Structures are given as structure tokens and as C-alpha cells.
Amino acid sequence: MNHPRAGLRYVDASDLDDSTIDFDGLTVESQTGDKLGDVDGFIIDTPSARPLYIVVDAGGWFRSKYFLLPVGHAGLDVDREKLVADLPRERVSHFPGFDRDEFEQLTDAELNRMDEQMIGVCCPNEAIERTVSTERYDRWTHYRNPTWWDASYYRPDRADNAARAMASSGSTSAASTSSFTPPSKNAVRAERDRIAEREAVTARARSEGDVSPHLGGRAQPGDVIGIETGGEQTHVGETTDDENKRREDAEEKARKR
């Protein structure tokens, strides 16, 4: 994979060790109690197992589904089981959006621009030095390593297994191709609607005196037409004259009985 910085990767919160803290879905709020979202994952520097950003699922209020919260701005409230950001929601609203699927393709320059935009919003008094990214992450309080984080939380085995599973899901083996795939809820709902519509059309046709069981009450080849025609059957390939003659013969036979 191509990362914006060597060793920098997105790690889903569910792939972290949760024996001490379960970060998956943990609430993130401001110091005034405004909810900013829930923890989705972290951007981790894998050599040091150190988080640089918290990936927050905004839950609909933000301009995009996710945003990055620099880890130096978040504290852990153990009693309330929440992460508390030292930034108001109004400032966070000016952060750039974050796309997990595009993260692997970000260049170092693009990530630096995201950094500068976040720093300009949250830390307007902090000078932005355009140094290499390693110096930024090591020097800025924006990314200071939080006291609530332990390097053991990062489980490369879990994260790597999840990454392999996502990669392999794109290729379908012959066995999986032949296996049954349950229909989606939308497909089931659409089929149910089609059946209901078909039944409604048939019911309307019958109420108007047409007893054909087919959609719209139309007679089909092989149908029994009814008593008024002596129970005759239609046949594929018959012309209108043939059908009229057959009907007259059937009516004549019915009168002689």
C-alpha cells in the first residue's frame, strides 16, 4: 500500500486491544458537552504504535462522514467513558473532511495541507513551520502522545488480518461464485412490491368481469374461456376469425344440449 508517510496507517478501533479500553464507538465531545461524534479508528505511526489522529464518525452534523481530530487535543474521561476535545464544535466545523478510502492515496504534501488547515483553525497562535512531517509529529503539541494511550493497544496482527480480509473480498473464488448469496433487503422489498402490484391489477380486472387469472385479466393461449363460450380453449396461432368460428361452434353445441 502507498501511505502518505512511511509507517502511517488507518487502524479501525475494533482492531485495537480492548482489554483495558474499548475505543470502538467511544463518544467524542467538546468540553462544553457538545457531541462531536464517535471514535471510528486512529491514524497510527506503526513503528512507534503512537496515534497521531483520531478518526471521528461525525454522525451527520459535519460536512463529511468523518474528520480527523489531532490526538493532542483529546483527553480521556475514564469515569464517563468519553474522549473530550479541548476544541469547541464551531471550530471543528471548519476542519477538512476525511475519506478513509482515499487515505492510502494521499501524498505527503496533501496530508501536510490538511495539517495546516487544522492547525490554522484550532491553534491560530501556533506558527506553522513547513518542516518535514516527522519533525512536525515529534515537536508539535498538536500531536503530543496522550497519557491515556498505551503502545500495546495497537495489535498489528488484528489490523493486518482485517486489511487482508478487505483485500481478498474483492476477488471472488469459483466456490464463492457458485454459493448462494442472500438477496438484499432492497431486492426483497422490490419483489414484494411487484407481487402486490400484480395482485392489485388482477383484482381490478376480476371486479370488472374478466376472470382470466393473468396480469390485467387478459386471456392467454390455453385458457379456459368460460361457460358463455362452452368452455372452449384458445390455441397458439389462431386468427381472430378462427377464434370467432370456434366460439360460434361452441355456442351452437351448447344450445343443442
- pLDDT tens for each residue of 50-106: 999 999 999 999 999 999 999 999 999 988 899 999 999 999 999 999 998 888 888
Residues 113 and 65 in one domain: yes
Domain of 23, in residue numbers: 8-169
Q: Report the DSSP beta bridge partners of residue 44.
A: 9, 51
Q: Taking 50 as the threshold, does the pLDDT of residue 181 lie above it?
A: no
pTM value surpassing 0.75: no
Q: How far apart are CA 144 and CA 164, in angstroms?
A: 31
Query: What pLDDT sits at residue 88?
Result: 94
Residue 125's pLDDT band (boundaries 50, 70, 90)? confident
Query: Do residue 29 and residue 124 come from a single domain?
Result: yes
Whether residue 86 sits in one domain with residue 54: yes
pLDDT on residue 172: 41
pLDDT band of residue 119 (cuts 50, 70, 90) is: confident
Residue 177 pLDDT: 35
| 127-143 pLDDT tens trace | 666 555 556 666 677 88
Residue, of 117 and 7, whose pLDDT is higher = 117
Query: What is the rounded CA–CA span in Å between residue 38 and residue 26?
Result: 5
Task: Give a yes or no: residue 52 inside a domain.
Answer: yes
Residue 188 domain-assigned (yes or no): yes
Tell me if 175 is assigned to some domain.
no
Give the pLDDT band (50/70/90) at residue 11.
very high
Question: What's the total number of domains in the chain?
Answer: 3
User: Do 127 and 198 fall into the same domain?
Assistant: no
Same domain, 196 and 89: no
Mean pLDDT lowest among 10-24, 57-71, 108-122:
108-122
Among candidate residues 32, 52, 30, the one with its CA nearest the CA of residue 41: 52
More confident residue, 66 or 185: 66
Instruction: Confirm if 65 and 95 have CB atoms less than 8 A apart.
Output: no
pLDDT score for 176: 37
What are 21-55's pLDDT values in tens digits? 999 999 999 999 999 999 999 999 888 899 999 99
Residue 176 lies in a domain: no
User: Has residue 113 got a pLDDT over 70?
Assistant: yes
**Considering the domain boundaries, does residue 164 fall inside one?**
yes
Average pLDDT over residues 158-179: 50
Domain identity same for 55 and 144: yes
| C-alpha cell, 191 | 419483489
Higher pLDDT, 215 or 7: 7
| Per-residue burial over 123-139, b = 16 or more CB atoms within 10 Å of its CB, e = otherwise | beeeeeeeeebeebbee
Same domain, 202 and 231: no
CA 254 to mean position of chain CA atoms? 66
Residue 29 inside a domain? The answer is yes
Question: Is 1 part of any domain?
Answer: no
Each residue of 186-196: pLDDT tens digit? 555 555 566 55
| CATH code of residue 32 | 3.90.50.10
Is 55 in the same domain as 114? yes
Q: Are residues 23 and 102 in the same domain?
A: yes
Given a cut of 80, whether residue 219 has pLDDT beyond it is: no
Would you say residue 206 lies in a domain?
A: yes
103, 205: one domain: no
Q: Are residues 132 and 12 in the same domain?
A: yes
DSSP annotation string for the chain: ---SSTTEEEEEGGGB--SS---TT-EEEETTS-EEEEEEEEEEETTTTEEEEEEEE-TTSSSSSEEEEEGGGEEEETTTTEEEESS-HHHHTTSPEE-HHHHTT--HHHHHHHHHHHHHHH-TTS------HHHHHHH-GGGPPPTT--GGGB-HHHHHHHHHHHHHTTS--HHHHHS--PPPHHHHHHHHHHHHHHHHHHHHHHHTT----SGGG---TT-B--GGGTT-B--TT--HHHHHHHHHHHHHHHHH-
Q: Please check whether residue 222 is in contact with residue 233, taking contact to mean a CB–CB distance below 8 angstroms.
A: yes
My answer on whether 138 and 34 are in the same domain is yes
- Higher-confidence position of 37 and 169: 37
